[in-house]
């Protein structure tokens, strides 16, 4: 049943574009409190450099409260030198389980260090243009979880006052701190494992959803790399995350002659494994399966799903890196190497 918005009756018809109420400014607060704007600014920004009496402080706070004045984060950050906002661009695809948990952990760890994480919606902007859009919010740090920024973008951010840029990607970006996340290594490990299990014709699932290429392309390249110079073959398997798409692939299955599958991640593995099992294909006897990400549902499948776990930094380590970088913006970029990708061997391979 499709969702339709139904306006509840009895709501009076909206008047024609009335003017919004004027927003109170620090000048209004100054007027009501009977002090200068500078005093308002000193009080509300907790400036310790200037001595202001307690009664005056109280008067300013009361006036601000009465008027509903909220200081402007960006203006305040300019005065303070910087904000406490860490900007993270969102991925151009819906977050998977692993990534949602990761963002949640990073957010919690940064919040304990008194930063606020703001996730900036994917806008289709690329490179410098994206960096310029992020810079407009004047974050103190930018944490880029995908290979979507280059040295020019980093320079744009730095010139507009961003103290630290941290990238999570396969290659360091000039001017940014970097944590290596090597998606090619995920494909390499997965396919190495299937090869070691005796498989020679290995399908590699390529999600058909838009925006996934940035992860699926390096995974496929890594898979090809693993079989380079061997007697085994990689067969790309385009697949959408729908039961229909899986059924269509199962129809073509006998012609493909595959004996192993690296299914991009655990979610696609689950989809394709179930469709094949329902069609009588035995796993792992007829086709060995391996996913990636090591999320809970894979452990609940029967046979239990083998997977590749790409190590991500803990929220705490990443938050500490951001904080260090913010405190010392002129320090040369740090490069962090994680443990790479590890195979978790269960029953499906």
Cβ pair 290, 190 in contact under 8 A: yes
Stretch that binds a copy of itself, among 32-40, 192-200, 225-233, 322-330 (CB under 8 A): 322-330
Contacts of range 228-236, beta carbons closer than 8 Å, 24 or more positions apart: 230/195, 231/200, 232/195, 232/199, 232/200, 232/201, 232/202, 233/200, 233/201, 233/202, 234/191, 234/202, 234/203, 234/204, 235/201, 235/202, 235/203, 235/204, 236/203, 236/204, 236/206
Q: Which of residues 258-317 bind a copy of itself (CB under 8 A)?
A: 267, 270-271, 274, 296-297, 299-300, 302, 311-314, 317
Residue 246 is classified by DSSP as H
Which residues, listed in sequence order, are joined to residue 207 by a DSSP beta bridge? 239
Cα Dmax for the chain: 85
Cβ pair 237, 205 in contact under 8 A: yes
Task: Based on the shown chain and the rule CB under 8 A, indicate whether residue 79 belongs to the binding site for a copy of itself.
Answer: no
Task: Based on the shown chain and the rule CB under 8 A, indicate whether residue 129 belongs to the binding site for a copy of itself.
Answer: no
| Alpha helical stretches, state H, 81-236 | 97-112, 127-135, 151-159, 183-196, 213-227
Task: Based on the shown chain and the rule CB under 8 A, indicate whether residue 335 belongs to the binding site for a copy of itself.
Answer: yes
Task: Based on the shown chain and the rule CB under 8 A, indicate whether residue 96 belongs to the binding site for a copy of itself.
Answer: yes
CA atoms within 13 A on the CB side of 201: 9
Of the two residues 32 and 234, which places its CB atom closer to a copy of itself in the complex? 32
Task: Based on the shown chain and the rule CB under 8 A, indicate whether residue 18 belongs to the binding site for a copy of itself.
Answer: yes
Structure tokens at 8: 């509840």
Tell me the closest approach of the beta carbon of residue 245 to a copy of itself, in angstroms.
Answer: 12
Dihedral sign for Cα 25, 28, 33, 37, please: positive
Task: Based on the shown chain and the rule CB under 8 A, indicate whether residue 43 belongs to the binding site for a copy of itself.
Answer: no
Tell me the closest approach of the beta carbon of residue 238 to a copy of itself, in angstroms.
Answer: 18
Task: Based on the shown chain and the rule CB under 8 A, indicate whether residue 132 belongs to the binding site for a copy of itself.
Answer: yes
Of the two residues 72 and 126, which places its CB atom closer to a copy of itself in the complex? 72
Task: Based on the shown chain and the rule CB under 8 A, indicate whether residue 188 belongs to the binding site for a copy of itself.
Answer: no
Cβ pair 312, 143 in contact under 8 A: no
Task: Based on the shown chain and the rule CB under 8 A, indicate whether residue 331 belongs to the binding site for a copy of itself.
Answer: yes
Tell me the closest approach of the beta carbon of residue 228 to a copy of itself, in angstroms.
Answer: 27
Task: Based on the shown chain and the rule CB under 8 A, indicate whether residue 6 belongs to the binding site for a copy of itself.
Answer: yes
Q: Which of residues 20-39 bind a copy of itself (CB under 8 A)?
A: 20-21, 23-24
Q: Within its chain, how far is the Cα of 312 from the centroid?
A: 12
Tell me the closest approach of the beta carbon of residue 326 to a copy of itself, in angstroms.
Answer: 10
Tell me the closest approach of the beta carbon of residue 128 to a copy of itself, in angstroms.
Answer: 10
C-alpha 341/C-alpha 198 separation (Å) is 21
Options 47, 71, 201, 281; binder of a copy of itself; rule CB under 8 A: 71
C-alpha to C-alpha distances, 216 to 81, 212, 298, nearest whole angstrom: 40, 6, 19
Tell me the closest approach of the beta carbon of residue 200 to a copy of itself, in angstroms.
Answer: 28
Q: Which of 103, 194, 107 is nearest to 145 (CA)?
A: 103
C-alpha 223/C-alpha 239 separation (Å) is 17
Q: Which of residues 153-172 bind a copy of itself (CB under 8 A)?
A: 155-156, 158-161, 163
Of the two residues 224 and 303, which places its CB atom closer to a copy of itself in the complex? 303
Options 118, 217, 240, 281; binder of a copy of itself; rule CB under 8 A: 118
Options 100, 198, 233, 236; binder of a copy of itself; rule CB under 8 A: 100
Tell me the closest approach of the beta carbon of residue 233 to a copy of itself, in angstroms.
Answer: 28
């Amino acid at each position: 049943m499709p969702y339709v918005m139904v306006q509840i009756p009895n709501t009076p018809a909206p008047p024609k574009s009335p003017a919004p109420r004027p927003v109170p400014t620090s000048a209004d607060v100054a007027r009501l409190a009977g002090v200068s704007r500078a005093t308002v600014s000193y009080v509300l920004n907790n400036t310790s450099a200037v001595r202001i009496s307690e009664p005056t402080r109280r008067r300013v706070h009361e006036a601000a409260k009465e008027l509903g004045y909220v200081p402007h984060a960006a203006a305040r950050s300019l005065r303070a030198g910087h904000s406490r906002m860490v900007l993270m661009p969102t991925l151009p695809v819906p977050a998977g389980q692993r990534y949602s948990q990761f963002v949640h952990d990073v957010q919690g760890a940064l919040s304990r260090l008194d930063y606020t994480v703001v996730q900036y919606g994917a806008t289709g902007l690329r490179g410098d243009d994206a960096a310029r859009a992020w810079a407009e919010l004047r974050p103190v740090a930018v944490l880029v979880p995908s290979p979507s920024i280059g040295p020019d973008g980093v320079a744009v951010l730095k010139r507009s006052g961003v103290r630290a840029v941290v990238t999570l990607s396969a290659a360091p970006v000039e001017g940014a701190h970097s944590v290596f996340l090597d998606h090619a290594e995920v494909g390499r490990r997965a396919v190495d494992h299937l090869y070691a299990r005796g498989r020679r014709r290995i399908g590699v699932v390529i999600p058909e959803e838009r925006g996934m290429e940035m992860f699926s392309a390096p995974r496929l390249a890594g898979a090809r790399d693993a079989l380079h110079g061997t007697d085994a073959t990689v067969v790309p398997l385009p697949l959408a995350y729908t039961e229909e798409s899986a059924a269509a692939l199962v129809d073509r299955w006998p012609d493909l002659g595959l004996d192993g599958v690296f299914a991009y991640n655990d979610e696609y593995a689950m989809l394709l494994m179930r469709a094949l099992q329902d069609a009588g294909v035995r796993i792992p006897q007829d086709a060995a399966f391996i996913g990636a990400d090591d999320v809970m549902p894979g452990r609940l499948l029967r046979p239990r799903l083998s997977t590749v776990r790409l190590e991500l930094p803990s929220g705490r380590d990443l938050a500490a890196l951001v904080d260090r970088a913010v405190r010392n913006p002129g320090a040369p970029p740090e490069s962090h190497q994680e443990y790479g990708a590890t195979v978790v061997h269960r029953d499906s391979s």
